[in-house]
Amino acid sequence: MNKTDRIYVAGHNGMVGSAILRKLTKEGFTNFILRSSKELDLRDQQGVARFFTETKPDHVFLAAAKVGGIVANNTYRAEFLYDNLMIQNNIIHQSYQNRVDKLMFLGSSCIYPKLAPQPLKEEYLLTGELEYTNEPYAIAKIAGIKMCDSYRAQYGCNFISVMPTNLYGPNDNYDLSNSHVLPALIRKFHEARIDGAPEVLIWGSGKPYREFLHVDDLAAACYFLMNNYDEPGFINIGTGIDIQINDLALLIKEIVGYKGEIKNDTSKPDGTPRKLMDTSRLTNLGWSPLIDLKNGIKKVYEDFQVNFSQ
Which residues are known to be catalytic? 137
CA–CA distance, 19 with 1 (Å, rounded to integer): 18
Q: How far is the C-alpha of 293 from the C-alpha of 310, rounded, in Å?
A: 25
Under 8 Å between Cβ of 214 and 168 = yes
Q: What one-letter code names the amino acid at 144?
A: G
| CA–CA distance, 211 with 264 (Å, rounded to integer) | 20
Cα separations in angstroms, 290 against 171, 221, 251, 271: 19, 11, 19, 28
Q: Give CA angle at 217 (212, 219), nearest 5°.
A: 120
Spatial distance between the Cα atoms of 162 and 221, rounded to a whole number of angstroms = 9
The answer to whether 23 and 219 have CB atoms below 8 angstroms apart is: yes
Distance of CA 112 to the CA centre of its chain: 14
A 10 A CB-CB count for 308 gives 16
Angle between helices 15-26 and 215-228 (to 10 degrees): 60
β-pairing, 159-164 vs 234-237, is parallel
Q: How buried is residue 113: exposed, middle or buried, by Cβ count under 10 Å (0-12/13-18/19+)?
A: middle
Q: Count Cβ atoms below 10 Å from residue 164 Cβ, excluding itself.
A: 22
Per-position DSSP letters for 89-134, written without gaps between them: HHHHHHHHHTT-SEEEEE--GGGS-TT--SSB-GGGTTSSPPPGGG
